[in-house]
């Protein structure tokens, strides 16, 4: 190989590695339920700094020698209040803009899922604690996972963030993506990880939560069958169960949730090939 060829090959290799790195980051969207990518430019350490938002650890990754915080923005964040990431004793404030998520009105929901009795409310509270504990998991088994694969095949039946009305009553916004995959079709985990919660929950039905490290978890709900248990280590694409219609649903689908720094964000921001 002569020098010209070598230079060309090196240039190509550098260009490819740069574009691969760039493509690997989640899509940035500074809106409630979105993701902010904050350059921690006041950090001089060669070690990844610990960064937090509202006291919750946030994912930090490195690209082209820069430390970046990958921050989930709460759906209830107010657009007129700046958010502040803290890292290595420094603060980074940023603003978000409005995202006017559309309304969704669903009718024909069994009344127990719209106006649960006190016993059902108590059950839901206990289940929420288990799920929140799973979401708060902080582990560093590997480098941060920056990209997720679709866990099921089917049209998207409800987008993330929809302002929801069940039988005309306002309820919490939609905190995941609904994929209308056929009943009993396979659900495949969106990245390698460890199962942190498995349960039969009041609203979410049969559910699995998987921790991918660095504050990133994925959640799979309404399953007809669960094939994994808490503590299982999963490879990307391993089957974790089957699509179903358990819990508060109007038909079979997979509700797929993605949580970053204990904040539910739009799953599609982590999906590259759609």
134 near 197, Cβ under 8 Å?
A: yes
- Binding of Zn ion by 255 (CB under 5 A): yes
Give CA–CA dist 31/265, Å, rounded. 10
Q: Tell me the closest approach of the beta carbon of residue 267 to Zn ion, in angstroms.
A: 11
Stretch that binds Zn ion, among 38-46, 110-118, 208-216, 252-260 (CB under 5 A): 252-260
- Applying CB under 5 A, what is the total number of residues that bind Zn ion? 3
Helix (H), strand (E) at residue 156:
strand 156-158
162 or 192: CB nearest Zn ion: 162
Site residues for Zn ion, 174-233, by CB under 5 A, read 176, 178
Q: Tell me the closest approach of the beta carbon of residue 11 to Zn ion, in angstroms.
A: 46
209 near 118, Cβ under 8 Å?
A: no
Radius of gyration of the chain, Cα coordinates, nearest whole angstrom: 20
Q: Taking the CB of residue 239, how many other CB atoms lie within 10 A of it?
A: 14
Q: Tell me the closest approach of the beta carbon of residue 118 to Zn ion, in angstroms.
A: 25
By Cβ distance, which residue is nearest to Zn ion? 255
Site residues for Zn ion, 148-177, by CB under 5 A, read 176
Half-sphere exposure of 98 (CA within 13 A, CB side): 4
Q: Tell me the closest approach of the beta carbon of residue 61 to Zn ion, in angstroms.
A: 28
31 near 100, Cβ under 8 Å?
A: no
Instruction: Name the site residues for Zn ion (rule: CB under 5 A).
Output: 176, 178, 255
């Amino acid at each position: 190989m002569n020098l010209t060829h070598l230079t060309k090959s090196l240039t190509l290799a550098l260009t490819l590695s740069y574009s691969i790195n760039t493509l690997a980051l989640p899509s940035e969207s500074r809106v409630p339920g979105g993701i902010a990518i904050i350059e921690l430019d006041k950090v001089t350490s060669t070690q990844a700094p610990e960064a937090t938002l509202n006291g919750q650890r946030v994912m930090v990754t490195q690209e082209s020698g820069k430390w970046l915080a990958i921050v989930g923005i709460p759906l209830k964040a107010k657009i007129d209040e700046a958010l502040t990431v803290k890292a290595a004793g420094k603060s980074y404030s940023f603003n978000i803009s409005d995202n006017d998520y559309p309304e969704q009105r669903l009718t024909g929901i069994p009344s127990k899922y719209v106006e649960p009795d006190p016993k059902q409310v108590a059950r839901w509270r206990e289940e929420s604690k288990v799920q929140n504990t799973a979401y708060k998991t902080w582990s560093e088994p590997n480098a941060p996972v920056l990209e997720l694969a679709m866990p099921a095949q089917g049209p998207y039946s409800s987008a993330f963030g929809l302002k929801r009305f069940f039988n005309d009553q306002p309820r919490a916004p939609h905190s995941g993506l609904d994929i209308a995959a056929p009943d009993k079709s396979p659900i495949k985990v969106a990245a390698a990880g460890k199962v942190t919660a498995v349960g039969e929950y009041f609203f979410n039905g049969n559910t699995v939560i998987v921790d991918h490290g660095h504050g990133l978890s994925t959640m799979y709900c309404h399953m007809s069958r669960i094939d994994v248990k808490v503590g299982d280590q999963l490879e990307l694409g391993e089957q974790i169960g089957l699509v179903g219609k358990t819990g508060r649903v109007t038909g079979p689908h997979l509700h797929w949730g993605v949580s970053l720094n204990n904040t539910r964000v739009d799953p599609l921001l982590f999906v590259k090939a759609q």
